[in-house]
Chains A and B, each alone.
Chain A
């Protein structure tokens, strides 16, 4: 998985204060029922066990095992306009 932070996203993240229980995360949001869909969100929460942490420009980004498995071969771009957006060839998810 190759993660790219756009300049607006990087600038926004650098303005934020993180703690051990408040770290950026790329997260698969799965919806189910009779079918199944996966969206990707850029969110902030506490570490989960078995997270992978990717550090880009000193910004730690957490990814859990399931999300990583889905995005393994993907180019993932994090952008920021009014909110963070995860842009992949699969879907776009946001966190406002």
Chain B
């Protein structure tokens, strides 16, 4: 079944059925009596006709093609593809969590509200912020919510600040978010060490600056050691400091964005806090802010009055609602479970292991791949395929070759300021054996590039579908299946 590559329509045989329906005990209805003729189809719907076993094998084969953290190593830089403990799933499926309704009276969902309230408090402590909203349902929505808070804050203070500064090592969503929130983006170049160039920053910060969006550690996996001075420069100009905390693995329990001087933070619970990740959601991108910005957080907000948990919907300065109901509750329940099962010591261990694993892999791969930023990294690091490029093999080819060995490739060609970049984030949940096996494979590929480059250039060899032409797929997409007569 590993080579099975059919569509359900191709398996179909006329007249074959998988289920016998019982004889109907109601009188048949003629559709033409009930609906106007122009609403009725002219021919039978072309549904696949297969046996139950065929159906089962078809979808099992499809599911076997899926790749996730549960199937193998997934070192996708900037994505934190770490193991999601299954206890999270057990908790999220409890009746008291999965079978309640957002319109239930508050007094009947006190436990759920308590969970949300305590998760807000946990995330506030983890980020060093004063207040947190759990409403945003994705990282990018968290970014947008944060920038809208900044916008309303400046407006309330009578200031028209139109520019958001974004370093060139930022997450790609940052400039897009700034544009969607109605700001003009100003790119701040990195210096030779891969960090924010302070001189450039000072040159661009002014009375038009609404905020600086910063990821720390940045996407090169490097800690912005000048963060205190950066915060000072932005604050002195009246701007706010925004922390993109999508990947917070490196700082858990070590430091907080609050201590670094940030005013607004978003977290991706589906990265750092082990809720399911990939395939477009559902996710959660809570936003934390300082006390000064708390009135602008989305409503409703979960509050505690005495021993009762309530929803506050009447904050006058709030930017309003950014998501239906109270966020993706099932995802929030998973993150809460993770934080509570790990505890402070466990989260502290996360950052230690995440950073150790990244540096271990980096050291093992350094002799074989160029390392444009050789200093100690945090949770991830970026190699360059520039050596291999001179031998006629590109980073894209190396990524494809990794598929032959059963690995999901690292993030490639990002950040954009690294030639032929390979961005590797091993995460804390992998064993040394896994890290070594991956390193051995990367080293073997580097040797193949020297000795048998065609093997790499024509990869993948073992997947059901071989090398795709991504540009043709985007230029001439075939989006509709047409059944052959």
Chain A interface (Cβ < 8 Å from any Cβ of B): 28, 30-34, 36, 38, 46, 48-51, 64-66, 69-70, 89-90
A64–B396 Cα distance when bound, in Å, is: 13
Set B392, B414, B421: member contacting A50, Cβ < 8 A:
B392
Given contacts A32-B411, A32-B414, A38-B471, 18 further A-B pairs with CB under 8 A are A30-B412, A31-B413, A31-B414, A31-B416, A32-B412, A32-B421, A33-B416, A34-B172, A36-B413, A38-B470, A48-B391, A49-B390, A49-B391, A50-B391, A50-B393, A51-B392, A66-B394, A70-B471
Contacts of A89 in B (CB 8 A): 475
- Is B389 interfacial (CB 8 A cutoff)? yes
Q: Are B453 and A49 in contact (CB under 8 A)?
A: yes
Q: Are B457 and A65 in contact (CB under 8 A)?
A: yes
Would you list the 3 A-B pairs with minimal beta carbon distance, nearest first? A32-B413, A50-B392, A33-B414
A32–B423 Cα distance when bound, in Å, is: 10
Least CB distance, A91 to chain B, in whole angstroms: 9
A91–B394 Cα distance when bound, in Å, is: 20
Asked, given contacts A36-B470, A38-B470, A90-B475, whether A50 binds B413 with beta carbons under 8 Å apart, the answer is no
- What are some 7 contacts across the A-B interface (CB < 8 A)? A28-B394, A30-B412, A30-B413, A31-B413, A33-B413, A33-B415, A50-B392
Set A28, A36, A51, A66: member contacting B457, Cβ < 8 A:
A66
Q: Mark B135-175, 1 if CB is under 8 A from A, else 0.
A: 00000000000000000000000000000000000001000
Q: Mark B381-423, 1 if CB is under 8 A from A, else 0.
A: 0000000011111111100000000000001111110000100
Contacts of A49 in B (CB 8 A): 390-392, 453
Least CB distance, A69 to chain B, in whole angstroms: 7
A30–B389 Cα distance when bound, in Å, is: 12
Question: In residues 444-485 of chain B, which contact A (Cβ within 8 Å)?
Answer: 453, 457, 469-471, 475
Contacts of A50 in B (CB 8 A): 391-393, 453, 457
Contacts of B172 in A (CB 8 A): 33-34
Q: Are A48 and B389 in contact (CB under 8 A)?
A: yes
Chain B residue total in the interface (Cβ 8 A): 24
Max chain B Cβ within 10 angstroms of own Cβ: one of A31, A33, A34, A51: A33
A31–B423 Cα distance when bound, in Å, is: 13
Q: Mark B76-100, 1 if CB is under 8 A from A, else 0.
A: 0010000000000000000000000
A25–B78 Cα distance when bound, in Å, is: 32
Contacts of A64 in B (CB 8 A): 389, 392, 394
Q: Are B411 and A66 in contact (CB under 8 A)?
A: no
Contacts of A33 in B (CB 8 A): 78, 172, 411, 413-416
Contacts of B411 in A (CB 8 A): 32-33
Contacts of B394 in A (CB 8 A): 28, 30, 64, 66
Question: In residues 235-288 of chain B, which contact A (Cβ within 8 Å)?
Answer: none
Least CB distance, A9 to chain B, in whole angstroms: 23
Least CB distance, B452 to chain A, in whole angstroms: 12
Closest partner residue, chain A, to B219 (CB atom): A33
Contacts of B395 in A (CB 8 A): 30
Least CB distance, A92 to chain B, in whole angstroms: 14
A24–B411 Cα distance when bound, in Å, is: 30
Contacts of B78 in A (CB 8 A): 33
A38–B472 Cα distance when bound, in Å, is: 11
Contacts of B393 in A (CB 8 A): 50, 65
Least CB distance, B460 to chain A, in whole angstroms: 14
Contacts of A51 in B (CB 8 A): 392
Contacts of A36 in B (CB 8 A): 413, 470
Least CB distance, B393 to chain A, in whole angstroms: 8
A23–B308 Cα distance when bound, in Å, is: 75
Least CB distance, B251 to chain A, in whole angstroms: 22
Q: Are B396 and A90 in contact (CB under 8 A)?
A: no
Closest partner residue, chain A, to B475 (CB atom): A90
Contacts of A28 in B (CB 8 A): 394
Contacts of B415 in A (CB 8 A): 33
Contacts of A32 in B (CB 8 A): 411-414, 421
Q: Are A66 and B471 in contact (CB under 8 A)?
A: no
Q: Are B391 and A66 in contact (CB under 8 A)?
A: no
Least CB distance, A28 to chain B, in whole angstroms: 8
Closest partner residue, chain A, to B420 (CB atom): A30
Q: Are A65 and B413 in contact (CB under 8 A)?
A: no
Closest partner residue, chain B, to A28 (CB atom): B394
A29–B266 Cα distance when bound, in Å, is: 32
Closest partner residue, chain B, to A48 (CB atom): B392
Q: Are A65 and B412 in contact (CB under 8 A)?
A: no
Closest partner residue, chain B, to A46 (CB atom): B390
Q: Are A65 and B392 in contact (CB under 8 A)?
A: yes
Closest partner residue, chain A, to B173 (CB atom): A34
